[in-house]
Amino acid sequence: MNGLLANPVAIIVGTPLLAAAVLAVLPGYVWSARLNMLACLITFGAAFSLFWGTAPPPGTYLLVDEMNIVFIVLNTFVGFTASTFSASYIGHELETGRLTPVYLRFYHAMYQMMMFGMNLALLSNNIGLMWVAVELATLSTVLMVGIYRTAEALEAAWKYFILGSVGIALALFGTILVYLAAQPVLGEGQAAMVWTSLLANAGKFDGSLLNLAFIFLLLGYGTKVGLAPLHAWLPDAHAEGPTPISAVLSGLLLNVALYAVLRFKMLMTANATALDPGPLMIAMGLVSLIFAALMLYRRRDIKRLFAYSSIEHMGIIVFAFGIGGPLANFAGLLHMVMHSLTKSAIFFTVGHIAQIKGSQQISAIKGLTQSHPLLGWELAAGVLAIAGMPPFGVFMSEFLVVTSTFAVHPVLALLLVLGLLLAFGALLLRLTGFLFGEPTGSLKPSEASYLPLFAHMALVLMAGIWLPGPMVAWFQAVARLLG
């Protein structure tokens, strides 16, 4: 028992699963919300301890290496801050009658199942187990997206379920093809599914099978990343689901699917006979960026607006990893972290604003600097940060993406800058309406918990001014792994 408690990997995976089982039968919202936060805090503490402890040796099913520590620490941190935000947000929804105890019964249990699925996917050393974990995380979020039980929420949940199922089916076929490529070298059974064995022997696999597998994997997991034209589920899920789930979707679940793509990209680059996956990733990333930037101008719902912003930024990240090389990979990792922290902070702010105004319509949200100055300026900071303005960390990561691209593909760099400018113009246009003018809607005071917002934005601001040396070295090591 002592060995289990001393193993942070067991805590990271086991705590959400145990908490989900308890929360499924625990009555009462208050105690459920507290247990949800406590479980997330314990999980984050265990993940953070991986910085200083010795990583356990890879097993048949679980793995800790330099790459997934980046993802697991980010995942558990945002999971904890989102659970803190969720406690006040969902409590308000109960008070106003938008949610009933019957509909909310399994909300926190599903939250922990989602965290379990994402943590398991990030720590998996088995490509089959990783696929199962991503599907589990998806199904958990589907149930939460439809929790309001309105016609629009149920439609969004079904769309998410159907498109997510198509994507995960494509990813399953790609996983099977990787297994078939590995089988002649590693033999039948689990040996041909263990990630560490696959990477060590990738150079011996059939390159043509790997090429076909990666296409299905990129399309399959790319659906979960929200890449255009596979993005259709994402705006509806953000708009109709509870805002804490919007924050988790943008800040975490998209990263988990991206992690799966990057793992398989490493297999491709380790095989001399396989095609370079970079051009395909560059194309999908650039299309997502420009498409989402244009769509920002047509949104009427504030959560849909920032959903398309997530598509834009996932496009930038995939584009950076497609360019490859130490600098572009470093930029992609930094941008992923900055986007997760900034976008979840924006959704925390938007959630409280929508509750105050009683609407998510952009036309109903004006003059925040007069009616709710703290929320208004917090939203301004978040929008300016996600638009890539200095001194925030997103500016640093976007600058690195542009410069690393210009060094090797100047024309692509120009298209990248075009997309960034289009998105910047749309966000700035919306921001002026949110902040200034005659206040509209409800003027009641906010009862928001600001701690998660301030924590995220403080980290994003710090990253734009100064990155700690150990973090830089850590990102550089991961960038080298990605090739």
Residue 6 lies in a domain: no
Q: What is the pLDDT of residue 5?
A: 41
List CB contacts of 82: < 8 A, sequence separation 6 or more: 244, 247, 248, 251, 252, 344, 348, 452
Give the C-alpha separation, 321 to 318, whole Å. 5
**Mean pLDDT in order along the chain per 10 residues (483 residues):** 60 95 86 93 93 77 89 94 91 81 84 96 94 93 89 91 92 95 90 92 93 95 91 90 89 92 94 92 96 93 93 96 94 96 94 86 86 88 94 95 94 96 94 81 61 92 90 88 83
Count of the separate structural domains present in the chain: 1
Instruction: Tell me, letter by letter, the H, E, C secondary structure of 128-151.
Output: HHHHHHHHHHHHHHHHHHCCCCCH
Mapping DSSP to helix (H, G, I), strand (E, B) and coil, where does residue 62 land? strand
Residue for token pair 């598509």: 311
Residue 266 lies in a domain: no
Q: What is the pLDDT of residue 469?
A: 85
Residue 260 lies in a domain: no
Give the burial string for 51-79 (b: 16+ CB within 10 Å, else e). eeeeeeeeeebbbbbebbbbbbbbbbbbb
- Going by C-alpha positions, the residue among 240, 248, 247, 46 that lies closest to residue 137 is 248
Residue 259 lies in a domain: no
Structure tokens at 296: 């920002």
Residue 378 lies in a domain: yes
Q: What is the pLDDT of residue 442?
A: 58
Q: What is the pLDDT of residue 3?
A: 41
Q: What is the pLDDT of residue 175?
A: 95
Residue 412 lies in a domain: yes
Phi/psi-derived region of residue 325, left when phi > 0, alpha when psi is between -120 and 50, beta in every other case:
left
Model pTM above 0.85? yes
Residue 45 lies in a domain: no
Q: What is the pLDDT of residue 4?
A: 41
Residue 68 lies in a domain: no
The answer to whether the beta carbons of residues 177 and 212 sit under 8 Å apart is: yes
Range of the domain at 458: 276-483
Mapping DSSP to helix (H, G, I), strand (E, B) and coil, where does residue 1 land? coil
Give the C-alpha separation, 29 to 351, whole Å. 19
Q: What is the pLDDT of residue 448?
A: 58
DSSP secondary structure of 278-346: HHHHHHHHHHHHHHHHHHGGG--BHHHHHHHHHHHHHHHHHHHHHH-SHHHHHHHHHHHHHHHHHHHHH
